[in-house]
Amino acid sequence: MKDKILAKVRAVLHMPTAMEGLWLATILAVPLIIAPHDSMIFHYQLPKIVLLRGMVSLLAVLWLLRWLSRPPSPVASDQERASMGWQAFKGRISDEPVRLVSMGVLAFVLINVFSTIFSVSPGVSIWGGFKLPDGYGLHNVVMFIVLFLVVAKNISTQMQIWRLLAAVSSSGGVVAVIGVLQRFHAISSGAPLTSVDGVVSTIGDPIVLGAFLVLTVPITIGLAATRISKSFSFGEQALWVLLISVQMLALAFTLSLGAAVGLVVALGVFLAFGYFAMEQAATIRVAAVSAIAVSITLLSMSFVSDLPDAASPEPVSQPFDEREFLGTAPEPGDDFLAKRPEIWASSVGLAVSRPSLPSKGGLVPGLRFMLGYGPETFSYVFPLNATEAIGLHDDAQNAFLHRTVELGLLGGLSEMALYLVAIAAIIWLFFRHIEEMTSDHKMILVVLTAALVGRMAQQMFDIGRGSDTMLFWVLLALIPAALRAWPLSSGSQSFNFGNYAMSRERPVYLQGARVALVLLLVVAMGWLVTDKSVNVVRADAVAARAEMVETTERNRAEALALFDEAIELAPTLPNYYRLRGDFLVAVNETVPPGLESNADLEEIYADRVMALRADPLAGESLLDMANIGFNLTRAGYEGLDADAVEQYKELMALSPNFSESHALLWILVAVAYMDAGQLERSLDFLNNALSVESSDFTHAKALFIQGAAYSELGEPGKAIDSLNMVLEISSDPKMMMETYRMLANAYSDSGEPQLAGEHYERYILIRDSDQS
What integer is the mean pLDDT of 390-407? 91
Q: Are 183 and 430 in contact (CB under 8 A)?
A: no
DSSP states of 397-430: SSHHHHHHHHHHHHHHHHHHHHHHHHHHHHHHHH
Inform me whether the pLDDT recorded for 593 exceeds 80: no
| CB-facing half-sphere around the CA of 671: CA atoms within 13 A | 14
Amino acid at 375: P
Residue % of the chain over a pLDDT of 90? 28
Amino acid at 436: E
3-state secondary structure 194-228: CCCCCCCCCCCCHHHHHHHHHHHHHHHHHHHHHHH
Element (H, E) at 754: helix 753-771
What integer is the mean pLDDT of 716-724? 88
Specify the higher pLDDT residue, 141 or 307: 141
Which residues are bridge partners to 504 per DSSP?
A: 75
> In whole angstroms, what is the distance from residue 418 CA to residue 148 CA?
12
65-92 pLDDT tens trace = 888 776 655 555 555 555 555 555 555 5
> In whole angstroms, what is the distance from residue 609 CA to residue 616 CA?
10
| CB-facing half-sphere around the CA of 763: CA atoms within 13 A | 15
Which pLDDT belongs to residue 305? 64
Kindly indicate the confidence band of residue 599, based on its pLDDT and cuts at 50, 70 and 90.
confident
Q: 7 CB contacts (<8 Å, ≥6 apart)?
A: none
For residues 648-687, one letter each, b for 16 or more C-beta atoms within 10 angstroms of the residue's C-beta and e for the rest, the string is bbbbbbbbebbbbbbbbbbbbbbbbbbebeebebbbebbe
Which pLDDT belongs to residue 195? 46
Domain residue spans in the chain? Answer: 2-71+89-302+338-485
Q: 752 CB contacts (<8 Å, ≥6 apart)?
A: none
Nearest to 566 by CA among 509, 607, 507: 607
Specify the higher pLDDT residue, 400 or 231: 400
Which pLDDT belongs to residue 75? 52
Element (H, E) at 365: none
Q: 617 CB contacts (<8 Å, ≥6 apart)?
A: 120, 121, 124, 357, 377, 380, 654
Kindly indicate the confidence band of residue 617, based on its pLDDT and cuts at 50, 70 and 90.
confident
Identify the DSSP state of 317: T
233-278 pLDDT tens trace = 777 778 888 999 999 999 999 989 999 999 999 999 988 887 777 7
305-357 pLDDT tens trace = 665 544 444 433 333 333 333 333 334 444 556 788 999 999 999 999 888 88
Residue 438 in 3-state DSSP?
Answer: coil
221-237 pLDDT tens trace = 988 888 776 665 777 77
What integer is the mean pLDDT of 609-626? 85
Q: Is the dihedral of CA 541, 50, 460, 170 positive or negative?
A: negative
Which pLDDT belongs to residue 149? 93
Which pLDDT belongs to residue 580? 92
Inform me whether the pLDDT recorded for 496 exceeds 90: no
| CB-facing half-sphere around the CA of 327: CA atoms within 13 A | 10
- The whole-angstrom distance between residue 466's C-alpha and the CA centroid of its chain comes to 8
> In whole angstroms, what is the distance from residue 694 CA to residue 660 CA?
5
> In whole angstroms, what is the distance from residue 316 CA to residue 323 CA?
15
